[in-house]
Amino acid sequence: MDWRQRYAEKVCSPQDAVRLIKDGDFVVFALGAGGEPLQLGMALAQRMKELNGVTVFHAVPNAPYPWFQGEGFQVKCSYVGPFDRPFSQKRLIDYVPWSYGTQGRQEDEKLWGAYTRPDVFLVKVSPPDEDGWCSFGHSVWYSPTCARNARTVIAEIDPSFMRTYGNNRVHVSRIERLVPVEPVNVGQIQFPPVPEDEARAAEVIGAYTAELVRDGDVIQVGVGLASQAVLEFLENKHHLGVHSELIFTQMVELVQKGVITGRKKAIHQGKVVGTCFVLWPGTERQLKAAAFMDSNPTFELYDIGYITHLKTITAHDNFVAINSALAIDLTGQVCIDFLGAKPYSGTGGALDFCVGANFSRGGRSIHCLLSTAQGGQTSRIVPQLEEGAVVSIPRNYVDLVVTEYGVARLQGKSVRERAQELISIAHPDFRGELRKMAQKLFWP
């Protein structure tokens, strides 16, 4: 039977599609960032009272689903976002620690039956091409793995989804139900404005960080005001490469300007490689970059397990990992995903990239953070992490730390020397107290 005939037979409404979900099913949603199947999610919410024993798995959910309130379904989440953060912090959602680079092992050895082998996978894809292949668009993440292993795949069809090279596709024969939807108007999504003083501090951090990037480096940049700031200061570099979880608009523009060429990369030479193009909040600048990426062979999107695998990362010489941090203690322990004992975001690929950079010949790991939080009332450089806080990045792998007050170099240094380095880049208002606490903690 021709795939077009099968396609027509599978098209249905969201309500009909989610009828395939049964009692006791483990249901995985494609990661958010504009790639989440919202209509399927809302249709599933209508079945909450009739389904029993269902577990739902999210990462950066894009809507305030009713099951976040602790009723109906059990909920797991590996990366907390704005919509589920209040409920995660009330412990209504079960947080899943997850390092992306372990995905392959979890799949092969069936260590964890969660997202790698779901009963049902809900995803959004493009319309099929002439051979029946649908694209996961700008947001790939774990979709290829889940689409390969799930008992049942249900997909929304979004005509606005881009196509890229890489392993960014699934055949319609693998999808049980297809639900046509209207494109999400990402331009309507509003993010809170960045305070002016924080924006200025981030610019300084970006300039300092750019000085640590050399011609020919292969860079990875993580999400966050402080880490992303470096992208505005790279225009004078030459032949940079990109191997990154996230591809930002500025990276696309640097390709257009000839700064990013990938010529020095050991693998995927000449290609910009990632797992997601950051399309939200849908500015005109982002939409132009997305149009340039669409069907452009320079850009390749792959499953997150491949992108963050240590073998993939360390295949590159001069790999530079640039990531944000919420807090760092005086020995160099970095917290990325928790505020005290409360989940705030997720580790993502930060640990994998940091470790990979340490084992890359000529590699560097850089952590960027504003020196203060809460409008300057608290220091992000602290004597010890708050009780209940999670050590996202062990101090043994933490190398360069950047704030708006400079660069601290920690590798090979004692805890006393590390404390002195970090205090030197703390906000001046907190240095005195930090020195007192360092004396108490690290000297007799």
Please tell me which residue in 107, 245, 253, 404 is annotated as part of the active site. 245
CA distances from 333 to 230, 267, 404 (A): 22, 32, 19
Give the Cα separation of 444 and 30 in Å (integer).
53
- In the annotation, is 245 catalytic? yes
Give the Cα separation of 46 and 65 in Å (integer).
11
What residues pair up with 26 in beta bridges, in sequence order? 55
Q: Give the pairing type, strands 319-324 and 152-157.
A: unpaired
Quick one: tokens of 145?
């793995």
> In 187-301, at which residue ranges do the beta strands (DSSP E only) sit?
218-221, 241-243, 246-247, 272-274, 276-277, 299-301
Residue 88: closest CA among 115, 59, 47: 59
Helices and strands (DSSP H and E) totals, the chain: 15, 27
Residue pointed to by tokens 């979004």: 158
Q: Which residues of 268-300 are buried (b: 16+ CB within 10 A; e: fewer)?
A: beebbbbbbbbbbebeeebeebbebbbebebbb
Residue 53: closest CA among 76, 33, 26: 26
Q: In this structure, what is the dihedral angle of CA atoms 243, 148, 156, 290, given to the nearest 10 degrees?
A: 10
Supply the DSSP string of 297-309, one letter for each residue: TTEEE--HHHHT-
Is the CB of residue 238 less than 8 Å from the CB of residue 259?
A: yes
CA distances from 30 to 110, 145, 163, 233 (A): 20, 11, 17, 33
Give the Cα separation of 237 and 239 in Å (integer).
7
Give the Cα separation of 329 and 332 in Å (integer).
5
- Asked if omega into 159 is within 30° of 0 (cis), the reply is no
Which residues are designated catalytic? 245
